[in-house]
Amino acid sequence: MHCLISLRYSSTSSCLCRILVLLAAVVAVALELNTSAMNVAHAAYLPVAFSENYETTGDFQHTQMLDGEELAVNLVLDQSSAAAFGSKGYFLFGAIGMGIKLVPGDSAGTVTAYYLSSSGDRHDELDFEFLGNVSGQPYTLQTNVFAHGVGGREQRISLWFDPTLEFHTYSVRWTREIIIFFVDDTPIRVFRNNEVLGVPFPNAQPMGIYASLWDGSSWATQGGKYPINWNAAPFVASFQGFGIDGCRVVDDDIGACAAGPVYAWWNAPRYQYMTQQQVAALQYVQRTHLFYDYCTDRNRYPIAPRECRRNWYGTV
């Protein structure tokens, strides 16, 4: 057997051994890449029955199971009621997300919200809010971060696809050091742990996971210019992917999640940062799809909030 990587004293068997080691390394790298790709968002898409992890928080007419296995759910908004559901448990860290298909057609005035929130005063909250539009005009995706009761961190982007045609995954990776908002595999926002600057970071309050569809006529669409058109009701948004890849807080034992259980991949050092590809993708989104950022709104914040200035992209 001819060995490509022959060393001076290599025998056939050590050569074979060398090749095997190389092969193993290649496979390991491939697996590694795959694992990290998976961990980005898709754990959130596990086809788990709705009632395993979630419950309706409004009346049952406005939350409709789409099939016997409860793998997809509709929220229905009409003049009689808004609609909502929420997780049964509270979580501290993880990759949390859901597949959502937004209200089609004339969705002006409607707001579809998907968010994490803790309860009580000084709450933490991570928001995706989809602001509907008149027929043919694009949705706006507004994100926000509340830490210890303080929000006012809105960013608004347009999407690069029609979010009413298919399910897309909207998720957050939430670790001790970083929060990344994703649309499918694309990072659209990052909020780092900047406690060293005195900026609070959501890392001590477990959050529930919520979805709702409601009437935001007074502000949602082009600043409230287009209120909801009830002739187009009922408005329907669909949700799927009810698995939750997060650390569930049991018996208020926050420490068990904060310390980082062994199975929690998100505690690994490399998940505290974005990859170079993710940084590039985020910068692309910010250049091409971001049209409002609280960090650059000098009417509102004459001095940019502290977290806006530091290491914004979350790389090492």
Ligand X SMILES: *[C@@H]1O[C@H](CO)[C@@H](O)[C@H](O)[C@H]1NC(C)=O
Q: What is the DSSP string of 37-65?
A: HHHHHGGGG----HHHHEEESS-GGGEEE
Name the nearest CA neighbour of 163 among 15, 289, 34: 289
Pick between residue 85 and residue 167 the one whose CB is nearest to ligand X.
167
Q: Kindly name the residue from 55, 125, 154, 177 that is annotated as catalytic.
A: 125
Q: Which of 20, 30, 46, 204 binds ligand X (CB under 6 A)?
A: 30
Radius of gyration of the chain (CA): 22
String of contacts with ligand X for each residue 139-158, x by CB under 6 A: -x------------------
Q: Which of 10, 39, 64, 137 binds ligand X (CB under 6 A)?
A: 137
Q: Is 316 helix (H, G, I), strand (E, B) or coil?
A: coil
Q: Kindly name the residue from 129, 154, 177, 307 that is annotated as catalytic.
A: 129
Give catalytic status of residue 125 as yes or no: yes
Output the CA angle 315-113-121, nearest 5 degrees.
80
Q: Which of 12, 222, 276, 283 binds ligand X (CB under 6 A)?
A: 222
Question: Of the ranges 5-13, 84-92, 136-144, 254-262, which one interacts with ligand X (CB under 6 A)?
Answer: 136-144
Q: Does 169 bind ligand X (CB under 6 A)?
A: no
Q: What is the per-residue burial (b if ≥16 Cβ within 10 Å, else e) of 59-81?
A: eeebbebeeeebebbbbbbeeee
Q: To 10 degrees, the CA torsion angle through 11, 13, 15, 18? A: -140
Read off the tokens for 58. Answer: 């409004």
Cα separation, 210 vs 117, in Å, equals: 8
Distance of closest approach, residue 201 Cβ to ligand X, in angstroms: 29
Cα separation, 265 vs 245, in Å, equals: 10
Question: Of the ranges 27-35, 75-83, 192-200, 253-261, which one interacts with ligand X (CB under 6 A)?
Answer: 27-35
Pick between residue 34 and residue 276 the one whose CB is nearest to ligand X.
34
Q: Does 34 bind ligand X (CB under 6 A)?
A: yes
Give catalytic status of residue 195 as yes or no: no
Question: Of the ranges 29-37, 70-78, 190-198, 296-304, which one interacts with ligand X (CB under 6 A)?
Answer: 29-37
Q: Looking at beta carbons, which residue is closest to ligand X?
A: 137
For β-strands 168-174 and 110-117, DSSP reports them as unpaired
Hey, which residues are catalytic here? 125, 129
Q: Which residues bind ligand X (CB under 6 A)?
A: 30-31, 34, 131, 133, 137-138, 140, 220-222
